[in-house]
Chains A and B, each alone.
Chain A
Amino acid sequence: MPLSGAKRWLIVGIALAVLASLGSGYMNRYYLGIANDVGIAIILATSLNLINGHTGQFSLGHAGFMAVGGYFAAWLSLKIGASFSPQTAKAMFPLSLLAGGLFAALIGLLVGVPSLRLKGDYLAIVTLGFGEIIRVVAQNTEAVGAASGLKGIPQYTTLGWTFGLAAVTVYCVTSIVNSTYGRGFLAVHDDEIAAESSGISTTRYKVVAFVTGAFFAGVAGGLYAHHKQFLSPTGFDWIKSIEIVVMVILGGMGRTVGVIAAAILLTLLPEFLREFSEYRMIIYALMIIFLMLLRPGGLFVFKTKRRPTA
């Protein structure tokens, strides 16, 4: 059966994820947790890459969408678990994730339509603002535990789910961007005025990128919720958004492989630095500054290539 390159990778990715999932029983719990974190980070970074990298719209509110999806999926799981049985809730886990993603996409649409009229710094600040508003709303909503957080979320996330969905995210984002339709994202990124004059509806492309990105962020949030089993509004502040942005920038805006590598690296880095825990965050901050000074195009970019393809 002839398959295109991207599809082949998708199948390889899912197969590996399933294999890893089967073997996860033998893994150390600590490493298992980190592996799940890595998978979730890949989903977050790849989905933000569609917005920030491919379409060139600087968003600082990604953690907000992650929060929306995470809270919604966790709330659904808890509701289903309470009114039917935990087994049903477990069987419904994919549906909860999907619902979380769709809800995040809906919020993304509501946020995106008005704010994507703005550009550059203004867009960054408005998305940051929306992210903060989402956090404050979560902090004041009793149904999801308000300020003390949502506790007792069942642990349904497995390596198979995180890496399988990471593969799906990467596949979806690259296929969208590499399709005929998806050239529009790159056109908006390269030159908005030229794109507009060529008859591309820039606003629609921006909104599509934003909603798609929000959907996957929401799914990642759902995985995160069922992995950590606890959600707290403070975990979704704008520092979290910045972490994701840094992954995209280090990976080299719009370069899928680079972004995935950066997501893995930046998730593992704090674990390596655990011995120097006092200095960990200082080193992280210094690293951001020095990378921007020395390798602003991305950590893994060695020659200047005009067009990022995949």
Chain B
Amino acid sequence: MDFQQIIQQLINGLGLGSIYALIALGYTMVYGVLRFINFAHSDVLMLGAFSAFYLAPLVQKMVGPESIMGGILVFVLSAAICACIGMLIEFLAYRPLRKRPKLTVLITAIGVSLFIEYTGQHAAVFGSATRAFPKILPEHQIHLGKLMLNSNDIIVPTVTIVLLAAMWFIVQKTRIGTAMRAVSFNQQAASLMGVPVNRIISFTFGLGSALAAIAGILYSIKAPGIEPLMGVQPGLRAFIAAVVGGIGNLPGAVLGGLLIGVVETFAGGIPGLSNYRDAIAFGILILILLFKPAGLLGRATIEKV
């Protein structure tokens, strides 16, 4: 592998990693407020991709094909749809279980995930065949010396960085972000201080699902096609990324996502190792948890009796 290839792989890896980071943010935020793994998150990602799949022709009819404006419109509408779906899932499936053991909620989440996947595979919904994803953004090839870049290679990290900055702003600087952090710190105390806990949790689900939808579209732009099970693999990787970075920790999720994306891309380029791609993320996870059980940026909690 020469220098140029390494740079090329690095760019690919960072692109993939930033998508993982976006998905991981959703996992980590929900874990922050509810302390459980939202297994259905990866399916919201798939629903985001499918929303874009059905919206793109409609939007393009209105604003013309492959325009930046149309692209943004597709992103925003899909994110809005998925935010509603996320909040609906929380309201129907998780809210009644608020006081139950975490394990019950975890199994319910797995149930919700399977439900969305199998319903999606039904012929009357999306069907199980892989479909080609429409072009929603104009594409250009950019040559930088010997490096060849697709415009998508730049758009994906850019969108991610913008969204990450927005997330940071929402969580750290706004009233609702403060409330989110309060709920995550101590739900009971937050509710005693007048924070509307249920509304904050709902908002968190909406925000996470919107991010998942955008990540789903970005992922589909580069993927060969979309199908109802497309969310499972990136979802699993992103979840691992969230745990690697220290679940509940937003910068940690980003760091974990980039790490997994880059390592996976490089491993994919090495013959012999590429067959083990699916296992690599888990390998990283296990190594890191063995040495830092709270994740890279997570703080170890001391158990009080």
A residues apposed to B, CB below 8 Å: 58, 114-115, 117-118, 120-122, 124-126, 128-130, 132-133, 136-137, 139-140, 193, 239, 242, 245-246, 249, 278-279, 281-282, 284-289, 292-293, 296
Contact B305 A193 (CB under 8 A): yes
**Residues of chain A within 8 A of B117, CB atoms compared:** 285
User: What is the interface residue range for chain B against chain A?
Assistant: 35 or more
**Known contacts A136-B278, A242-B110, A288-B110; A293/B97 CB under 8 A:** yes
Contact A121 B36 (CB under 8 A): yes
Contact B293 A130 (CB under 8 A): no
Q: List 19 A-B contacts (CB under 8 A).
A: A117-B290, A121-B247, A122-B289, A122-B293, A126-B285, A126-B286, A133-B282, A136-B276, A136-B278, A140-B276, A278-B122, A281-B114, A282-B118, A284-B118, A285-B118, A286-B111, A287-B111, A293-B96, A296-B100
Contact A133 B97 (CB under 8 A): no
A125's partner among B101, B122, B240 (CB-CB below 8 A) is: B240
Min Cβ gap B172→A in Å is 26
Contact B115 A289 (CB under 8 A): yes
Interface flag for B239 (CB, 8 Å) = yes
B106's partner among A121, A126, A286, A293 (CB-CB below 8 A) is: A121
Kindly supply a per-residue 1/0 record for chain B positions 66-101, scoring 1 wherever the CB is within 8 Å of any chain A CB and 0 otherwise.
000000000000000000000000000100110011
B107's partner among A118, A128, A132, A292 (CB-CB below 8 A) is: A292
- Which among A121, A193, A246 has the highest number of chain B CB atoms within 10 Å? A121
**Residues of chain B within 8 A of A249, CB atoms compared:** 103, 107
**Residues of chain A within 8 A of B289, CB atoms compared:** 115, 118, 122, 126
Rounded to whole angstroms, the CA-CA distance of A281 and B118 in the bound complex is 6
**Residues of chain A within 8 A of B243, CB atoms compared:** 122, 125
Rounded to whole angstroms, the CA-CA distance of A132 and B121 in the bound complex is 23
**Residues of chain B within 8 A of A139, CB atoms compared:** 275
Rounded to whole angstroms, the CA-CA distance of A305 and B162 in the bound complex is 53
Contact A124 B285 (CB under 8 A): no
Contact A130 B107 (CB under 8 A): no
Kindly supply a per-residue 1/0 record for chain B positions 117-151, scoring 1 wherever the CB is within 8 Å of any chain A CB and 0 otherwise.
11101110000000000000000000000000000
Min Cβ gap A177→B in Å is 19
Interface flag for B187 (CB, 8 Å) = no
**Residues of chain A within 8 A of B278, CB atoms compared:** 132, 136
**Residues of chain B within 8 A of A278, CB atoms compared:** 122-123
- What residue in chain A is nearest B275 (Cβ atoms)? A140
- What residue in chain A is nearest B242 (Cβ atoms)? A125
**Known contacts A121-B106, A137-B279; A129/B111 CB under 8 A:** no
Interface flag for B102 (CB, 8 Å) = yes
Contact B93 A289 (CB under 8 A): yes
**Residues of chain A within 8 A of B286, CB atoms compared:** 114-115, 126, 129-130
Rounded to whole angstroms, the CA-CA distance of A249 and B103 in the bound complex is 9
**Known contacts A122-B293, A193-B303; A288/B100 CB under 8 A:** no
Interface flag for B182 (CB, 8 Å) = no
**Residues of chain B within 8 A of A293, CB atoms compared:** 93, 96-97, 108
Kindly supply a per-residue 1/0 record for chain B positions 273-284, scoring 1 wherever the CB is within 8 Å of any chain A CB and 0 otherwise.
001101100110
Rounded to whole angstroms, the CA-CA distance of A120 and B36 in the bound complex is 10
Kindly supply a per-residue 1/0 record for chain B positions 229-272, scoring 1 wherever the CB is within 8 Å of any chain A CB and 0 otherwise.
00000001001100100010000000000000000000000000
**Known contacts A117-B293, A281-B114, A284-B114; A246/B107 CB under 8 A:** yes
Rounded to whole angstroms, the CA-CA distance of A58 and B52 in the bound complex is 37
5 closest A-B pairs by beta carbon, nearest first, are A288-B111, A129-B282, A285-B115, A285-B114, A136-B279
**Residues of chain B within 8 A of A239, CB atoms compared:** 114
Interface flag for B178 (CB, 8 Å) = no
